[in-house]
Amino acid sequence: MAILGKIERYLRRYDMPRTKFGRLAVNDPRLVDDLRNGRAPGPELCERIEAQLSRAPAAPDQGDAR
C-alpha cells in the first residue's frame, strides 16, 4: 500500500488531525497536504513516517489523577 494510503487509514483509525500526524512523524504540519498534492517522499522520510505509523498515539493527558 502506498504511504499516503497508510497515513489516511491511521488518521481515520485514531481520529487524528493531519497536521498533528505531520508534526509527530517529521515535525512538518504540512506533510499530509503536501503528499496529497503529489509530494514524493524520499527513503529517509518514508522511514520516519513508517515509524510513526507503527506507534499508536499517546493517550491524551488526563491531568493529575490524585
pLDDT by residue (tens digit) across 10-60? Answer: 999 999 999 999 999 999 999 999 999 999 999 999 999 999 999 988 766
Is 21:31 a contact under the CB 8 Å cutoff? yes
Q: Please, which residues have CB within 8 angstroms of residue 36's CB and are 6 or more apart in sequence? A: 4
| pLDDT over 90 at 66, yes or no | no
DSSP 38: T
pLDDT tens-digit map of 47-64: 999 999 999 887 665 555
Q: How far is CA 17 from CA 10, 23, 57, in A?
A: 10, 10, 12
